[in-house]
């Protein structure tokens, strides 16, 4: 079970620890422009859900695994992921309402129950990544809550704009690579003690007008030195951004399944 649960969780929740390079400050005029664009981004009212066909690809230690599936996600931390075979039959599911999660392996008739605050969850999820923020990480938006901007500037090897955000966490900071021209976050990582512990990069489809402001990512890429590989999640076909019923994030297991309680 742990191998596949690791696969299903790691596409959302990788961890890594490369060092963070210092930023090059903006001049005052450009600083004002970037801050204005970032504030406009913060004020956007975007849909808080997605229902999509997805493709997961993970290359770990030279082992390339690709799987198709269906992902339903809704803010703050609701996830419903089904991995399907070529005939569309569900092989595995991961469902969470933010307070608990259920993983099933339909091939073996087994189910695993736990919470995002359990030791089992903590094996895969870095400290500081809250269940309530999962949709924000998926959609390229900001986690909820109040924060202070503690630094802005250019990275040493690019011309784009970085923001360092402090969510009143003494040991961790959020680093966002923000493009003021498109109003999009191209990368978002969480840092602790000067090291990256959680890193997501985003690719967006082209578009224009009001729809462009809230355009959902086309794909995510996750790299982690701790798993020695690369994970990609592609939103192959998005069906809706409408509200999803709470029943989709609860799962009742068949009576004949073997149940494992994760602590």
Report pLDDT digits (tens) over 52-80. Answer: 999 999 876 677 889 999 999 999 999 99
- The SS3 call for residue 228 is coil
Mean pLDDT of 201-221: 81
C-alpha to C-alpha distances, 238 to 37, 51, 121, 165, 245, nearest whole angstrom: 27, 6, 28, 30, 17
How many helices (H) does the chain have, and how many strands (E)?
A: 5, 14
Predicted confidence at residue 131, as pLDDT, reads: 85
pLDDT in tens, 163-206: 999 998 878 999 999 999 999 999 999 888 888 888 899 999 87
pLDDT tens readout for residues 104-161: 999 999 999 998 888 777 766 777 778 889 999 999 999 989 999 999 999 877 778 9
pTM metric for this prediction: 0.86
The tokens describing 207, both together, are 């578009």
Helix or strand holding residue 42 (H, E): helix 28-43
Phi, psi of 156 (to 5 degrees): -65, -20
Q: 208 vs 243, which has greater pLDDT?
A: 243
How far, in Å, CA of 96 to CA of 18, rounded?
A: 30
Q: What is the pLDDT of residues 6-34, one digit of tens each?
A: 455 554 444 445 567 789 999 999 999 99
Q: Does the pLDDT value for residue 216 go beyond 80?
A: yes
Q: Residue 183: what pLDDT?
A: 92
Phi then psi dihedrals of residue 15, to 5 deg: -140, 145
Residue 207's pLDDT is 65
Which residues are 82's β-sheet partners?
70, 93
According to the model, what pLDDT value does residue 121 have? 73
Residue 96's pLDDT is: 93
pLDDT given at position 13: 47
Asked if 71 and 56 touch (Cβ cutoff 8 Å), the reply is no
Q: Give the domains, in start order, of the chain with CATH numbers.
A: 2-261 (2.50.20.10)
SS3 letters across 40-69: HHHHCCCCCEEEEEEEEEEEECCEEEEEEE
d(CA 146, CA 150): 13
**Confidence grade of residue 211 (pLDDT, cut at 50, 70, 90):** low
């Amino acid at each position: 079970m742990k191998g596949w649960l690791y696969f299903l969780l790691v596409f959302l929740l990788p961890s890594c620890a490369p060092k963070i390079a210092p930023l090059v400050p903006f001049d005052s005029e450009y600083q004002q422009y970037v801050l204005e664009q970032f504030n406009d981004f913060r004020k956007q009212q975007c849909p808080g859900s997605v229902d999509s066909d997805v493709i997961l690809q993970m290359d770990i230690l030279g082992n390339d695994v690709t799987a198709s599936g269906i992902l339903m996600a809704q803010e703050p931390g609701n996830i419903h992921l089904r991995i399907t075979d070529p005939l569309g039959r569900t092989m595995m599911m991961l469902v969470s309402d933010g307070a608990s999660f259920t993983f099933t392996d339909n091939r073996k008739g087994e189910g695993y129950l736990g919470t995002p605050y359990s030791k089992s969850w903590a094996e895969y999820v870095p400290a500081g990544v809250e269940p309530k923020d999962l949709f924000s990480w998926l959609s390229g938006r900001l986690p909820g809550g109040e924060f202070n901007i503690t630094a802005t500037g250019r990275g040493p090897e690019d011309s784009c704009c970085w923001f360092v955000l402090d969510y009143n966490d003494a040991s961790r900071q959020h680093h966002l690579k923000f493009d003021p021209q498109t109003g999009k976050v191209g990368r978002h990582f969480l840092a602790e003690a000067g090291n990256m512990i959680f890193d997501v990069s985003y690719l967006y489809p082209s578009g224009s007008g009001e729809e462009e402001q809230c355009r959902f990512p086309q794909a995510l890429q996750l790299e982690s030195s701790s798993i020695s590989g690369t994970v990609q999640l592609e939103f192959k076909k998005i069906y809706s951004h409408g509200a999803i019923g709470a029943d989709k994030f609860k799962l009742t297991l068949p009576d004949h399944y073997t149940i494992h309680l994760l602590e």
